[in-house]
Structure 1
């Protein structure tokens, strides 16, 4: 959600103010820059992937699929699987809260 160009050669401390400013806006359509993704963009990617997963699952007898992705993408995917929600400011707020309180860790494995 932050610009890759702007974040190049920075560390977590350098980006902290930018991260806070992005989430303080709670604007689903806001883009940090032209090379960044809005929350709406992420939501639409997750929705498309979720639909594709459901379609592909129909072709597997065991229904076992492995998914490897970025933690934020998986966080929203899990939220949408558990409780499908339309794109709203409230969904964005809940997503941010879950990211902070219960982030998906690198290499985390879970069955869903």
Structure 2
């Protein structure tokens, strides 16, 4: 995928700017030093059309046909907020690693704390 973006004229710097991440992170993805996270995969789907399911799990098809501009804008802003806050990013990553039953219990507590449960 990165080689395809390169052939389309994207540099590591341009990819990083489009995703709102560092060039060093893009370089690490290209070299295989770390896996693409779910928030970055979502951004790559939005910005470049590569499906997050393909990026994360290898599920075909590789690219999306069309994405709603409103949904793109909302998803990009949400993902950027997460990526810009290291503590939030760390917590969300830990939540994603919980078993479903543990997540359900945590969500119940959070909803109660927010007065929504």
TM bin (shorter chain): under 0.3
Q: Which one has more relative contact order, counting CA pairs under 8 Å at least 6 apart?
A: 1
TM-score (norm 1): 0.28
TM-score (norm 2): 0.27
